[in-house]
Amino acid sequence: MAEVDRIDLKILKVLQEDATKSASEIADIVGLSQSPCWRRIQRLKEMGYISRIVAVLNRDKLNLNAQFFIQVKVVKHDKENLIIFGDAIRNFPEVTECHVILGAYDFLLRVVAKDIDAYEEFFFERLSKLPGVREVNSCVAVSEIKSTTSLPIS
């Protein structure tokens, strides 16, 4: 991270908490004038430190009341099968995260659904029918203690 300095890190911290702030507002917070702050933000985007700016939606307001964490084991662990599984998962809007993991399972998924019935349909009609899926272990989250998109920038 030699490409960024202390002020860049402050800008990133502000943006990840509230990306609706204007360059002028961010400049005031980090101790810059508006133009240099705006240029730094553009440079951080160009360098890939800011991958995208999105709205974080409230899933409860959208009646997506159920959240599941699913561990998936595939039949073969070669690169080709991992790519095939990953490509299929990218087409499932219910899957909000997919990670390749080490251990007893190969993938960890975070799935959001309207309710248990909607998840059951997703599981039986889509996930379990993917080629190469050997085992699926599903856990339902009953409450959420912490959920953040913010990274621990020091």
Q: What are 35's two structure tokens?
A: 């133009």
* Residues 17-75 pLDDT 10s: 999 999 999 999 999 999 999 999 999 999 999 999 999 999 999 999 999 999 999 99
User: What contacts 103, CB < 8 A, 6 or more positions away?
Assistant: none
To the nearest 5 percent, what fractions of the chain are helix, strand and coil?
35, 20, 45
Sequence letter at residue 139: C
Bridge partners (DSSP) of residue 65 are none
In sequence order, the β-bridge partners of residue 109 are 70, 98
Burial class (CB in 10 A: 0-12, 13-18, 19+), 11: buried
Which position has the token pair 């700016």? Answer: 53
123-133 pLDDT, tens per residue?
999 999 998 89
> Which amino acid is residue 32, in one-letter code?
L
Specify the pLDDT at position 100: 92
Q: What is the pLDDT of residues 86-106, one digit of tens each?
A: 999 999 999 999 999 999 999
- pLDDT recorded at residue 31: 96
- Confidence at 2, pLDDT banded by 50, 70, 90: low
For each of the domains in the chain, give its residue range(s) and CATH number, in order of start: 6-46 (1.10.10.10), 66-141 (3.30.70.920)
